[in-house]
Amino acid sequence: MKKFIKITSILAISFLIAACNTTSDNDYPNETNVVETPNVTPAPHPGLTPQPDPTPIQQTEPPDEPIPDMFPYSGYHFTLTAEEREIYERFIVELNTDLFYGLSPISVTKIYIQAGIEGEWEAEFYAHNQESMETTKEEFYEQHRIDMQWSVLESRQSAANWFFPFIDDGEVIIEEDRAVVVFHSVPEPDVPLEHQDTLHVMNLIRNDAGIWEMRFRPHVFTLE
C-alpha cells in the first residue's frame, strides 16, 4: 500500500507539471497569497492511475496494453448527488458552464472530477475558466489520449474513491472571485496520520456571470 501511494504521488506531480506550470510568486508580482496552510498537497487529476515502478529503467512509451485497475478497495465511494448528476449529464452534452449557475465550488469540482472519471475530456476542458487556460483544446485532448493509453478507464473511479470521497465535507475558502476547496483523502492504512499527507485542495475562479469554474492551475493552494 505504501508503494501504491508513493507511485500515485509521483504520477500526480508528473501530470501536473506537464499539464500546467506551477504558479510562483513571480507569476503575480503585485498580488499577495492570503492563504497559508502547511502540508497541503494538490488533488490528483481524476485520470491518474498507479503504474509499475519505473526504476531502474524509466519507461517513457505507453505500454502495449493499458495498465489494469491497480487501486485496492478504499472502503469509500465518490459519487454525485442527484442534482449534480442531472447537471453533469447536461453539461457533457452542452459543454456550457452556465449550467453551473448557483452551484457551490464543491459541486462544480465534483462535476469536473466526474468528467475525468468517465473520460469526458471536452467536459473537463470546458469546466475550466477559459481565461485561465494555458493550453489549447488540441493539447488538452492529446494529454487525454496519452492517459488512455496508459491505464484503463475503470481505474479512475477507484482513484476517485481514494482521493475524493470526503470532498462533500471539505472547507471552502473564498476571497473575492477566487475559491479553494480543502478536503481530506482516505488515510493510508497502518501509517500514523502525522506521517501522511491526506489534505488536498482544488482551486476555482468565479466568472463575470458569478459562476464558479475550475481554475486551470488547480494544484496551487493560494488565493491571489
* Cα-based torsion angle of the residue sequence 16, 18, 20, 21 in order, rounded to the nearest 10 degrees: 100
All three cell numbers of 192, joined, read: 500514523
- Residue 57 placed within a domain: no
- Residue 81 placed within a domain: yes
- Residue 33 placed within a domain: yes
> Among positive and negative, which fits the CA dihedral 134, 139, 145, 151?
negative
pLDDT value, residue 38: 35
- Residue 219 placed within a domain: no
All three cell numbers of 31, joined, read: 498580488
Task: Say how many CA atoms lie within 13 Å of 10 toward its Cβ.
Answer: 13
**Percent of the chain surpassing pLDDT 70:** 67
pLDDT value, residue 80: 98
Max Cα distance, the chain (Å): 51
Q: pLDDT tier at 157 (50, 70, 90 boundaries)?
A: very high
pLDDT value, residue 60: 65
pLDDT value, residue 44: 57
- Residue 15 placed within a domain: yes
- Residue 157 placed within a domain: yes
**Model pTM above 0.85:** no
pLDDT value, residue 163: 92
What domain range is 76 assigned to? 2-51+64-214
* pLDDT (mean) for 13-29: 32
Question: Does 23 have pLDDT greater than 70?
Answer: no
The total number of structural domains in the chain stands at 1
pLDDT tens per residue across span 127-156: 999 998 888 898 888 888 888 777 778 889
CB within 8 A of 139, min separation 6: which ones?
A: none
Is it true that the peptide bond before 56 is cis, omega within 30 degrees of 0?
A: yes
- Residue 45 placed within a domain: yes
Distance CA 223, CA 129 (A): 15
* pLDDT (mean) for 60-65: 71
Higher pLDDT, 170 or 37: 170
- Residue 58 placed within a domain: no
